[in-house]
Amino acid sequence: MVALAMMMTSVARADYRESLSVLRLGVVESYVAAANPLKLEAVQSAFATALGIPVEIIKLGSYAALIDAHASGRVGYAIHSARSYAAADAACGCVRAFRSPVAADGSTGFRAVLVVRDSVNAPVSALTVGYSHEGSVSGWQLPDQAIKAGSLERPQMVRAGSVASVVELYQTGEIDGFFAWLPDIPGNAGSDLGQLFGGWNQTSISAADPLRVVWSSQKIPYGPHAVHRSLPDDLVAVLGTFLDDMASSAPGLLDAFEPVYGGGYVTPGPEDYRNVRGLVEALPDETSAGSLR
């Protein structure tokens, strides 16, 4: 009985710190915090203090490299784009998203939209529509997926090469509309066209003819923080609490760690990234945050 009691006490006290010697966190080199050694060191130190074990941040050259490192277990925790997470999940089924970032405006993702001049009443198939480039999720990947699925008519497509060029083509009247993205804010049923491209270059857009939305994709959540399924559940719970508390307990750390979003985190549902799976087959080596939308 004494031996059994001692064994049960030992089991009760056992936690991830007894089975995991170091947590390796994978990020792409283009991740904002990764470019600043001081910020990276501060983030690494904060994670190590919160977890009670050493933390090593591993910088990878591309999302393809991050997918491989996470799927193989060389990193246990990774900060993905929505598309790279879907690719890693498809590759091994061994990763799970445990938190998703929230932007400062409260949005938890975005939707691709087709906007056209309000004065144009022709069917989509008769329109001339601009897009930035084939690497853009909102500008090409999601619309192309919808066209192939039959949920969107194929317009005459004009490749502009960049978002700025798309806006210029619209201003000069060379296109009837364009593919863009809008932040998706929970509880906000409207489509605020003042937030096209996240509000970027709104002065130039609003100076041209008024727009209306004629097509919208399903929501694409922002890229998640994900763990390899081999990591202990109690470690993942501590990680989740640490991220949840970061906005209130260490806002400076949140600014360094999540400068693109900065609104804290939410817990994603098991099917939140289902809408991204169709994009996995054409995954390019993403190298900038802009290519993710």
251: CB partners within 8 A, 6+ apart: none
What's the pLDDT tens digit per position in 177-191? Answer: 999 999 998 877 556
Whether the CA torsion 89, 266, 272, 192 is positive or negative: it is negative
Pairing status of strand 55-60 against strand 23-28: parallel
pTM across the whole model: 0.82
Q: What is the pLDDT of residues 225-243, one digit of tens each?
A: 999 999 999 999 999 999 9
Average confidence score pLDDT of the chain:
87
- Residues of the chain above pLDDT 90, percent: 65
Mean pLDDT of 273-293: 61
Residue 281 has pLDDT above 80, yes or no: no
- Out of 116-120, 186-190, 201-205, 227-231, least confident range: 186-190
3-state DSSP assignment of residue 177 = strand
Q: Do domains 2-105+222-292 and 109-220 have the same CATH topology?
A: yes
Q: What region does 247 belong to: left with phi over 0, alpha with psi -120 to 50, or beta?
A: alpha
The CATH code that applies to domain 109-220 is: 3.40.190.10
Tell me which fold the domain 2-105+222-292 belongs to. Answer: D-Maltodextrin-Binding Protein; domain 2 (3.40.190)
Residue type for 165, please? S
Q: Mean pLDDT over residues 238-250, rounded?
A: 93
What are the tens digits of pLDDT across the range 51-78? 999 999 999 999 999 999 999 999 999 9
Residue 100, burial from CB neighbour count under 10 angstroms (0-12, 13-18, 19+):
buried
Are 226 and 66 within 8 A, CB to CB? no
- Distance CA(273)–CA(282), nearest Å, equals 16
User: Cα 249 from chain centroid?
Assistant: 24
Domain boundaries, the chain: 2-105+222-292, 109-220
The answer, yes or no, to whether residue 14 has pLDDT greater than 60, is no
Check whether 3 has a pLDDT greater than 90: no
